[in-house]
């Protein structure tokens, strides 16, 4: 099964091509939020190296949030466009679970964190046995201080962080011991998106392109302003 996976949920844009769980190629760019200009050319370039088109893909995968509202939309829209009208399965995976998968080869607690602004992070918590991730906490948008209160209850255990909220979270955790994470493993990986999506596909959790949805965890600024306006 050929899997095409995309992640544009943060500043990194990433595309990967896999054959089941085997990575064939991965293309990652970390030059800021220009995903509307770079993501589709990245896809075309990667597929071109294998003389493939979207019709050769068996499963489309995308990081479906949380993350940058614009970035998540761009990723989902790109997958919908690539898969449109071909009756191919699609899987939207949690950005946080895909981030945690980066560190699944390490045993212990893995806490993905994405900068949600206003001293908050998008976060979740997983335990890894060195191969398999077990979710301990749902995807959430919480204050770093609240996350600190949660993590410090795992007495005697060291936490590994990943995600674009790595620096602000590590600095903000006052009660929790945090291990250093290699920089390459802190950022979004389209291969991790593909791996999580493959697992979801085998569990029967694929959808059509029209059914693919995103998960922002909280309303966008425009939606919040509209709600406040309606309240007033």
Here the CATH number for the domain that contains residue 164 is: 3.30.420.200
Which among 106, 141, 146 has a CA at the least distance from the CA of 127?
106
**Looking at the structure, do residues 80 and 160 belong to the same domain, yes or no?**
no
Q: What is the mean pLDDT of residues 23-29?
A: 97
Is the pLDDT at 227 greater than 80? The verdict is: no
Listed residue (103, 83, 201, 219) closest to 158, CA to CA: 103
Q: What is the pLDDT of residues 90-130, one digit of tens each?
A: 999 999 999 999 999 999 999 999 999 988 999 999 999 99
Are 64 and 92 a contacting pair, CB within 8 Å?
Answer: yes
Which pLDDT score, from 0 to 100, does residue 74 have? 96
Query: 89 and 11 in one domain?
Result: yes
- Domain of residue 179 covers 103-185
The answer to whether residues 10 and 55 belong to one domain is yes
In terms of domains, do 139 and 86 share one?
Answer: no
Percent of the chain exceeding pLDDT 90 equals: 89
User: Tokens standing for 62?
Assistant: 């995308």
Report residue 228's pLDDT band, with 50, 70 and 90 as the boundaries. low
Residue 105 buriedness (CB in 10 A; 0-12 / 13-18 / 19+): exposed
Residues 134 and 171 in one domain: yes
What tens digit of pLDDT does each residue of 34-66 get? 899 999 999 999 999 999 999 999 999 999 999
Question: Is it the case that residue 229 has pLDDT exceeding 80?
Answer: no
Q: Report the CATH number at residue 199.
A: 3.30.420.40
29, 139: one domain: no
- Number of domains observed in the structure of the chain: 2
Question: Could you tell me if 14 and 72 lie in one domain?
Answer: yes
Question: To which H or E segment does residue 41 belong?
Answer: helix 35-49
What pLDDT digit, counting tens, does each position of 187-217 carry?
A: 999 999 999 999 999 999 999 999 999 999 9
- Note whether 112 and 88 are same-domain residues: no
Q: Are residues 202 and 178 in the same domain?
A: no
Of 81, 126, 119, residue with least CA distance to 99: 126
Q: Is 91 in the same domain as 6?
A: yes
User: Which pTM does this prediction carry?
Assistant: 0.93
Domain identity same for 26 and 138: no
Whether 109 and 137 map to the same domain: the answer is yes
Task: Write down the mean pLDDT value for the chain.
Answer: 93
């Amino acid at each position: 099964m050929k899997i095409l996976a995309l992640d544009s949920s943060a500043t990194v844009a990433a595309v990967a091509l896999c054959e089941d769980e085997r990575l064939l190629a991965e293309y990652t760019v970390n030059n800021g939020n220009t995903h509307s200009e770079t993501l589709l050319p990245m896809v075309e370039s990667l597929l071109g190296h294998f003389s493939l088109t979207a019709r050769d893909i068996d499963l489309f995968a995308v990081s479906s949030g949380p993350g940058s509202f614009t970035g998540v939309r761009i990723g989902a829209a790109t997958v919908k466009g690539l898969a449109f009208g071909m009756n191919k399965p699609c899987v939207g995976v949690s950005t946080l679970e895909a981030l945690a998968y980066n560190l699944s080869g390490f045993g212990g607690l893995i806490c993905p964190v994405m900068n949600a602004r206003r001293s908050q992070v998008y976060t979740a918590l997983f335990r890894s046995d060195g191969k398999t991730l077990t979710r301990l906490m749902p995807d959430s948008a919480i204050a770093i201080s609240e996350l600190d209160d949660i993590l410090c209850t795992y007495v005697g255990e060291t936490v590994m962080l990943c995600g674009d909220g790595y620096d602000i979270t590590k600095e903000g955790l006052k009660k929790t011991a945090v291990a250093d994470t290699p920089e390459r493993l802190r950022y979004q990986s389209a291969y991790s998106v593909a791996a999580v999506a493959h697992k979801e596909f085998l569990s029967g959790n694929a959808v059509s392109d029209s059914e693919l949805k995103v998960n922002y965890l909280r309303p966008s600024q425009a939606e919040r302003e509209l709600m406040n306006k309606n309240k007033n």
